[in-house]
Structure formats: C-alpha cells, structure tokens
C-alpha cells in the first residue's frame, strides 16, 4: 500500500525532517572537545604547592620543585606546562606558588597560579 502525500502534509513532513536533522547536528556541535569537559571523570585536579626553579617562556612551562601531592606523587622537581601566558610571565625563580594541577588523558598542566611567597630580591 502506497500513500501519497500532497500539498501541506508533504510540506509539513519535509519541514519537520529538516528541523529534526538541524537539531541533531546542533546538539552534536555543542559537545565540548575531548578532555575539556570539567565533569569528565578522566580529568583529575590536584592542589600543587612548590617553588619555581626556572621559567621557560618559549616552552610555555616552568620547572617547579613541588611538594608531595597526596594520592598522586611524591615531592619532586619537574617541568609543568602553563597555558596562561600572563601568569607565566609573572613568575620568577624562587617564587613560592600554589596552583591547580590538571591531569587528563592528553597530558597535564597547571592553572590558577597564585604566588604565595615572593622571590627574595637582591640589594638595589
């Protein structure tokens, strides 16, 4: 049995089909890039406390002598990526900092950096 739709029924069905397809694409397009969803259970956030050893502006990173991060790692000095160029530019060796260490399947980086102790300056 073949039913032919004519006139307004065919127009209505075509219109609904088009809007349905656009809605699906719209919802798919709103999805966050992989690894960027803050609710993603694969992303871990830790508090990092440490002392800046060196700043590597060209590599967008800093060497940090970090205190122990309970449940994650023992105290050690290593390079950490810093995506915020303005925050990176303010850091100096010997600054004591507190920051959020973000660890996801694509790597790790620090953000929300706060200098909690200034590097001691020499005599002027």
**Structural domain of 2:** 1-31
- The answer on 49 and 12 residing in a single domain is no
pLDDT for residue 14: 66
Look over the chain and give the mean of its residue pLDDT values, rounded to a whole number. Answer: 80
Is 66 a member of any domain? yes
pLDDT in tens, 14-29: 666 576 565 555 555 5
Q: Where are the beta strands (DSSP E) in the chain?
A: 44-56, 61-66, 76-81, 96-104, 107-117
Checking if the pLDDT of 43 tops 70, the result is: yes
Checking if the pLDDT of 33 tops 50, the result is: no
pLDDT for residue 118: 82
Burial class (CB in 10 A: 0-12, 13-18, 19+), 112: middle
Q: Which long-range contacts (CB under 8 A, 24 or more apart) does 58-67 make?
A: 60/85, 60/88, 61/88, 62/88, 62/91, 64/97, 64/110
Return the residue matching tokens 């956030």. 45
Instruction: Report the number of distinct structural domains present in the chain.
Output: 2
pLDDT for residue 93: 96
Beta bridge partners of 46: 101
- The answer on 68 and 7 residing in a single domain is no
- The answer on 52 and 12 residing in a single domain is no
Lowest mean pLDDT among 4-18, 33-47, 59-73: 4-18
Structure tokens at 57: 């502006």
Residues 6+ apart with CB under 8 A from 53: 62, 63, 64, 65, 77, 93
pLDDT in tens, 53-80: 999 999 999 999 999 999 899 999 999 9
């Amino acid at each position: 049995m073949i039913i032919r739709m004519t006139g307004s029924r065919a127009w209505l069905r075509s219109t609904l089909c088009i809007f349905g397809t656009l809605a699906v694409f719209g919802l798919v397009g709103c999805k966050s890039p992989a690894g960027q969803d803050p609710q993603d259970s694969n992303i871990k956030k830790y508090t990092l406390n440490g002392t800046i050893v060196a700043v590597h502006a060209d590599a967008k990173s800093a060497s940090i002598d970090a205190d122990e991060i309970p449940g994650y790692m023992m105290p050690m000095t290593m390079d950490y990526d810093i995506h915020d160029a303005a925050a990176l530019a303010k850091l100096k060796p010997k600054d004591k900092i507190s920051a959020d260490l973000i660890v996801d399947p694509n790597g790790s980086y620090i953000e929300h950096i706060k200098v909690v102790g200034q590097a001691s300056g020499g005599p002027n």
